[in-house]
Structure 1
C-alpha cells in the first residue's frame, strides 16, 4: 500500500514513479456531470486533467491498452451490475491508483460496498453539484486539508446582495420557506440587519429583541434562549430578526456570532442567513462561519464590479469553493445579458432567476412566499436549494450525509 503522502495528493510535478502515467483521467457518461467536473477541477487548477465521455466499461476498455493514471474517476451509471463492473476495473488498473466513483444508486449499502469492500476513495450519486465535487473529490485529488467541521449539526448558508436592491432578502426568505415548509426541514431565517432587515416581514413573522441580546451578551446563549428568540412562522420554519431603533447602534461582543451559530446548528437543520455586504464585525463573522456563500447580483455593470470585490474576500474554513453566483432579474429592461456578465466575471453563473416584477412585487407586499414560488422564480429557488443542501431535497438519504473517507484501491 502506498504511503500517506502518495495517497492524499497528486504529486506537484505531475509524476508518480513512471513518467507515462497521467495525473487524472475521468470517464463521465453524461454532459451535465462532465460540465460540473470541468468547472470545479478547472477552478482548482489541477494539472493534467483529462475528461472523456463514457462509463466504467469505456474506462476498462481504454485502460487495458494504456497506462493507469495516478487518479481515476469512473461513472457506473447505466450499469446493470455496477459492482461487477468495478471488480472488472480493478483487474486492469494498478493497485495504487486513486479511484473515485460516480453513479445513480443512492443507497447507503451501495456506498459502503463501493468504498469499504472495493476500496474506492469516495462515491457520489447523481445529480452532482459543484459543492459535492469540491467538498468530497477535490481534497482527495489535491491533498488539501478537508474542511474542518468538528461540530456535527445543521448547515449554514449566507446570502449577500452585492449591492442594495439586488433581491437577496427576498431570495433568502423564499429559500427558507422552501426548506422549512415545502421540504419539511427544521429551518431558521437569520436576518443580520437588525435595524432595517425585512426577513420577518417577508415571512409574515415577528421580530424580537433576542438577536440583539445574543450579540451583546453571548454568555446568555443556550438552547432555551434560542427556542425563545426565534419566532415561529410554521411548524418547522422560524425567523430570528431584530427591529431596533435607527438611533440605537449595535454593541457587538467578539465571538458572539460564532456562539450564536453553534447554538442554532444544534437546533436547526438549515440556517439561512441574510447578510448585508456592510463591513461590520457580525457580518464578517457570519460570512466566515457558513458552509456556503451565495452572492446575489443584479444584471448591471455596478453589480459586476461589486461581485468581483466580494469574490476577492477569503473563503471561510468550511467553504471548499468560491461563492455560488446567483444572477437575479435577468432580462430586466436595459440590463446586461448573461453572456456579458460571465465574460466580465470570467466565471460561470450558477443559478439564474428571470425578471418577474409583478409576481415578486405581490409576494413582497403580501409577505406570502407561496405566491412567489412559481414559474422561473421557483425553478431558481429549487436550483439554489440543490446547490446549498448537498443532498436532494426533499428526497434525501440522511445516512449519506455522514460519509467517511477510505483510502486504497483494493482487489
Structure 2
C-alpha cells in the first residue's frame, strides 16, 4: 500500500469554509480531522459567498477563506468584488466552483484568489490546496513577529506584551505564541499561571534539536488560540548568548504560528538587537519621564536607520497620571520622537496589581474596563486588522446609537 501523500506542513492557521452544498461541508469536516490538519482551526458554515460577505462586514477575516459557489462566472466575480471590500489584505482565498473556464481562472487570480478548484473534490484535494498556500516556492512565512521592549526597566513592558498577546488571540481570534525571552527573570509563567517543566531555554540551548515537533512539546497552552514559551526564570546558569541564538526557534515559529509576540528584556546585547532588527513590528514601552524619553528616542533613531525598508517602530506610554509625579506630556514625547504614541495607558495599580497576583490578564478580570479596550485597539493596530468592534457587545459607546442616527439624518439632508 502506498504511503500517504506528503504535503508542506500546515501551520496554526484559522480557516473558514462557506459551503453551498452539504456534500462539500462533509468533505471539509473529514479533512479537518486529518492528522495533517491538526494544527489548523477549521470552521464550516453554509451559505456560500453571500454568507461570507455578510459575516466579514462585522468580524475580522481568518488566515484562509474557502468559498464554494454553484453560480456562473458573473455571479462569482461579483461576490468576490464585494468580499474584497471587507477582507483583510493578508487573508488567502480559495474558490471551489463548477465552471471549468481558463478565462474565469485568470480573472480570479487577477482579483487575488490563491487557487480555484473545480468540483467535485475530495478530502485530499482540500488538504493539498491548503498546504500549497504555505509550501509553494517563495511562499512567505505565515507568522509575523511583534517585538515588545521597555525603554527602561520597570516600565511594564512584559505586562503590555502579555496582555497584547492575549488580545490578539482572544479578541481577533488569531493563533498567537508569546515568547518570554527574559531567560533569568521572565514573568510569563507567573502572569499566565503556568509552570511548564520545559520552555524557551530548551530550544535556545539545543539548536540542533529544534524542529516543529520539538517546539510543540515546549509550548504551554494558555487558551484555545494562545501558547506560551516560558522562560526558566532561574539563576543556575548565565545566559551569555550569541547574536543568532534565537534564530532557529524564531524560524520555526514564523513557519507555524500567525502571530508571535516577543517579550524582550531591557538589556542591550547582540541577540536583543538582532531580535529587534529582524522583527516585523516593534513596540517600545515607556513611562513619561526624561530617562524614558532619551532611551526611547535612541531606540527609535537606531531602528529607523537600521530598517529603512520597514515600517517605523511604534511606542506607547504606560503608567501615566501618577498623582504628584511630574510627567512629560504625550505631546512633548511626540515632538521629541517625531511620532505620536500608539497608546497611552493610565496608572491603575489596583487593576494591574490584582491581575498580576491572580495570574490573569486584564480582559479576564475586568473585560468591560477601559484599559481592556485599549489592549484591543493596540492589538488591532499592531496586526493591521480592521477595527470591527462596532459590532461587539460591551464595546459600544453610550452615545453610539445617537451618533449613528445623526449620521443617517445628515446623509438624508
- Same fold per superposition (TM over 0.5): yes
Q: Is the 8 A contact 2:171 2:376 kept in 1?
A: no
Aligned to 2:311: 321
Correspondences of 1:293-308 after superposition (within 5 Å): 293-308=282-297
Contact 1:193 1:242 in 2 (8 A): yes
Q: Deviations over 1:3-36 (max 9, x none)?
A: xxxxxxxxxxxxxxxxxxxxxxxxxxxxxxxxxx
Provide the rounded CA distance (Å) in 2 between the counterparts of 1:200 and 1:308. 31
1:10-25 to structure 2, matched below 5 A, reads: none
Contact 2:246 2:271 survives alignment (8 Å) = yes
- Per-residue CA deviation, residues 118-143 of structure 1 (Å, 9 max, x unaligned), is xx999xxxxxxxxxxxxxxxxxxxxx
TM-score when scaled to structure 1?
Answer: 0.57
* CA–CA distance in structure 2, aligned partners of residues 393 and 261 of structure 1: 28
C-alpha contact (below 8 Å) 1:207/1:241 kept by paired residues: yes
Q: 1:387 aligns with which of 381, 384, 388?
A: 381
Whole-angstrom CA distance in 1 between matches of 2:240 and 2:209: 15
The runs of 5 or more residues in structure 1 that have no matched partner are 1-103, 123-148, 396-411
The answer for unaligned runs of 5 or more in structure 2 is 1-83, 94-105, 113-137, 390-413
Structure 1, 241-250 or 380-389: larger mean CA deviation: 241-250
In structure 2, relative to structure 1, the CA distance for the partners of 1:310 and 1:373 (3 Å cut) is farther
Aligned equivalent of 2:177: 188
Aligned partners of 1:385 and 1:309: how far apart in 2?
A: 25
SS of corresponding position for 1:256:
coil
Is structure 2 residue 85 aligned with structure 1 residue 105?
Answer: yes
1:281: how far off? 2.8
Task: State the alpha-carbon separation in 2 of the partners of residues 286 and 278 from structure 1.
Answer: 12
Residue 276 in structure 1 maps to residue 265 in structure 2 = yes
The equivalent residue for 1:356 is: 348
SS in 1 for 2:254: helix
Distance of aligned partners of 1:319 and 1:393 in 2 relative to their CA distance in 1, 3 Å threshold: farther
Per the alignment, in what secondary structure is the counterpart of residue 313 of structure 1?
Answer: helix
8 Å Cα contact 1:297/1:303 also seen in 2: yes
Aligned length: 261
SS at match of 1:158: strand
* Alpha-carbon distance between aligned partners in 2 of 1:218 and 1:248, rounded to the nearest angstrom: 18
Could you tell me how far apart the structure 1 residues matched to 2:386 and 2:197 are? 33
Per-residue deviation, 1:158: 0.7
Secondary structure in 1 matching 2:179: strand
Q: CA deviation at 1:235?
A: 2.0
Is 1:371 the counterpart of 2:371? The answer is no
Question: Could you tell me how far 1:170 is from its partner in structure 2?
Answer: 0.7
Within 2, Cα distance between the matches of 1:326 and 1:308? 12
| 1:196-211 pair list within 5 angstroms | 196-211=185-200
Task: Give the structure-2-normalised TM-score.
Answer: 0.57
Distance across 2 between alignment mates of 1:264 and 1:360: 29
Of structures 1 and 2, the one scoring higher in RCO (CA 8 A, sep 6+) is 1
Q: Contact between 2:355 and 2:365, CA under 8 Å: does it hold in 1?
A: yes
Q: Bigger CA drift: 290-299 or 248-257?
A: 248-257
Moved more, 200-209 or 349-358: 200-209
